[in-house]
Amino acid sequence: MADILKIAKKKGTPVFILDHKKIRENYREFKEALPRVQAYYAVKANSNPEIVRTLYKMGASFDVASFPEFMIVHENIKNLSKKNRQDFIWDKIIYANTIKQEETLRKLDQYKPLVTYDNIDELKKIKKHCPHAGLVLRIRVPNTGSMVELSSKFGAHPGEAVDLILEAFKIGLIVEGISFHVGSQCNNFENYMQAIQLASSILKEAESRGHKINILDIGGGFPVKYNNKVKSFKTLARKLNTEIDRLFPKTMEILAEPGRFMVANAATLVTKIIGKAVRDGKTCYYLDDGVYHTFSGIVFDHCVYPLKAFKDGEKKVCSVFGPTCDAFDTISVAEELPDLEIGDYLYAENIGAYSIASSTYFNGFPPAKVVHINK
């Protein structure tokens, strides 16, 4: 911890310290555990261009959900790719947002991308504005036990899946794959098993109707060990490997969209106490970062980031707030910290995913500075 404190004192706070060695370790762990699966990093988890470059060099592909994310990937790997600027899109990017603006589709068409859809209106929109795309049908699957539920917003009902595949071919489009997402930070591995079995049934029926599909995208949701209640990723990987080998031939291309898994534990935030007060007998600390900035994951990601001090001492329950004038900017009302003073530093680990990605400039406070280590 001495190294991150030294960085904070040199660069100023708040400072978001991103460890690329850890990102590479996470990628290797993923590939070793799931050798048949090509990792498409979910850029939305943390869209820092340096992360894109690090993962591309490791062999990753990318899942994007907006045209700006698409361009972050495009601009940061096109000069690293041996292919020309359009050909590398084929095996390096999937546009995995099922709802896309017409303008976005028109911009994407020249790249002949792989895009997802989950309803008839989106299919018609793709036909009109992005007819050169390859399609992946996203189906709705159980999200029970996941930290962030996605099935109420995305995914075709499995009973409609084959009809949506047939309709795509009927209007002259090509469905290359089927996808699902069990929800972010999934701690219920049965979700994956049910989803894979659903996908297998749909693919078999589609083939019986004359359309063989060769891509299965198993989405994201791979658990990060935030605490001891989180189940083992290696246990999940063994289950996935067994089920994939049982249900799909070796010719089936298997994709996944890990985001949190690649970056959550690769970043540490260092923040400074800028104010201290006692209210109703409880000590309150005010930091130079809050929920409108790096701690946004508390709100949007249902995540908790325990704060740690660089000082020792008896810990007492306290409240911790961000720097803005909004009472909503509350990091915790039950943090346990030693007695601290204005100017002291705190840090939060495992804060690399869905945190700084949602930072704002609310009240004029800028996002944390980003420092890269072990590049």
Of 186, 284, 318, 325, catalytic: 325
Burial of 17 (0-12, 13-18, 19+ CB in 10 A): buried
Which residues are CB-neighbours of 198 under 8 A, at least 6 positions away? 139, 141, 158, 180
Known catalytic residue at 325: yes
Burial of 314 (0-12, 13-18, 19+ CB in 10 A): exposed
Integer angstrom CA distances of residue 148 from 151, 182, 187, 364: 10, 9, 11, 29
3-state SS of the chain is CHHHHHHHHHHCCCEEEEEHHHHHHHHHHHHHHCCCEEEEEEHHHCCCHHHHHHHHHHCCEEEECCHHHHHHHHHHHCCCCCCCCCHHHCCCEEECCCCCCHHHHHHHHHHCCEEEECCHHHHHHHHHHCCCCEEEEEECCCCCCEEECCCCCCCECHHHHHHHHHHHHHCCCEEEEEECCCCEEECCCHHHHHHHHHHHHHHHHHHHCCCCCCEEECCCCCCCCCCCCCCCHHHHHHHHHHHHHHHCCCCCEEEECCCHHHHHHHEEEEEEEEEEEEECCEEEEEECCCCCCHHHHHHHCCCCCCEEECCCCCCEEEEEECCCCCCCCEEEEEEEECCCCCCCEEEECCCCCCCHHHCCCHHHCCCCEEEEECC
* 169-172 contacts at long range (C-beta below 8 A, 24 or more positions apart): 169/211, 171/123, 171/124, 171/127, 172/127, 172/131
Which residues are catalytically annotated?
Answer: 325
